[in-house]
Structure 1
Amino acid sequence: MTYDVAQISELIKNRRSVFPKNYSGERVADEVITEMLENANWAPTHKMTEPWRFTIFCDEGIEVFANYQAERYLKSAGKNPDKEKIKKLKSKPLMCSHIISIGMKRNKSIPKMEEIAAVAAAVQNMHLTATAHGVGCYWSTGGVTYDKKANSFFDLGEKDLLMGFLYIGMPKQGKWPKGKRKAIDKKVRWIKK
């Protein structure tokens, strides 16, 4: 098996977080979302636990998601909820074509860190697939992520972990961010003897 390594490297180097404010409003084809999910399913997983769990919100489901997270915030905010935060929780999702909740089904026989890494690898596979299609994504850990009471809404058990949301949309013309990284030699140490 041979692959075009230069093309793969280019894809990896061009993967970016594209934020909802930079989405055009155009709907992403469900076939692209399905391909993203299929490629997520091929992430590395220790002992084949395949811990990733996803719920996809689209069309009217986006409003269901937006209203749910705003309601959860109101229940947890106490007497003085932040009105701007409520507005953001309700409006930001509406800029998206699809939103995918990212969950980890906990398997106690595997170290938690390995399961988290497997889910993160699955999300990277989705993000690279989206990039290949010119689709923007942004992985957010905000909203109801830290509210354990939200797990059941996303079809997760109380021992499972809600790891965030992948916001998806078609980028506006010219809104693909430029990348920058510090040189790898500042982050690597070689030991040869």
Structure 2
Amino acid sequence: MDAALLNDLIRKRRSIFPESYIEKPIEKKIIEQVLENANWAPNHKLTEPWRFRIYQGKALQSLSDYLANWYRENTPPEQFSAKKYEKTQNKPLRSDCVIAICMQRDPKESLPEWEEVAAVACAVQNMWLTCTAYGIGSYWSSPRSIIEAREFLDLADGELCLGLFYMGYHALPDLPGRRSPIEEKVTWV
């Protein structure tokens, strides 16, 4: 393995939003690779808590409708924004693929819930890095509308939705990263 390639990939990972996506389909085998790499995330007691629901093609319209309707039905009239409604509605439709990121809680509750949430987050990081390697823009969004989408997503008992992972090719140049120095966050003991 080449550590320099890994270091570069990690530093190039960015949130790329649907308004920057171009109309170029993502091959199914690439989406499968993204999911397979997610499946190799670390997880305590091998609970493998990640679960995914894939929205592509016509399914993106049903997701769009759900999100837009949820916004309209759950926003007080004085706070409703036609612009936000339209943006909410268009976000899935501008994406080639949207993945609902879900977590199946260990039925035995043999470990703290936060460890399973952390395992799912590690799976999403693997997805993000894989997308970056393929030149696919992506980002993880967790609006209340999808967190409360139990019925829409047909979640099983003990299953939670932790957000949506938007994916699409883009034409943006590599964007510079911004991080403060690691020395400001480390104490050597």
Q: Is the CA contact 2:67–2:146 (under 8 Å) kept in the aligned structure 1?
A: no
2:117 aligns with: 116
Distance 2:153 2:184 in 1: 40
Pairs aligned (count):
186
Q: Does 1:35 align with 2:36?
A: no
1:167 aligns with: 166
Please give the TM-score of this superposition, normalised by the length of structure 1: 0.89
Q: Is the CA contact 1:51–1:106 (under 8 Å) kept in the aligned structure 2?
A: yes
1:106 aligns with: 105
Find the partner of 2:47 among 46, 49, 55. Answer: 49
Gaps of 5+ in 1: none
Distance 2:89 2:157 in 1: 25
Q: Is the CA contact 1:105–1:156 (under 8 Å) kept in the aligned structure 2?
A: no
Q: Deviations over 1:157-178 (max 9, x none)?
A: 3643211111100012x34422
Matches within 5 A, 1:1-193: 3-78=1-76, 81-107=80-106, 108-142=109-143, 144-147=145-148, 150-157=149-156, 159-172=158-171, 174-191=172-189
Which aligned runs of 4 or more in structure 1 are off by greater than 6 angstroms? none
Deviates more, 1:17-26 or 1:69-78: 69-78
Q: Deviations over 1:123-169 (max 9, x none)?
A: 0001111111111101111251332xx11322323643211111100
**1:187 shift after superposition:** 0.6
Q: Cα RMSD over matched residues?
A: 1.6
Please give the TM-score of this superposition, normalised by the length of structure 2: 0.91
For residue 10 of structure 1, give the secondary structure of its aligned residue in structure 2: helix
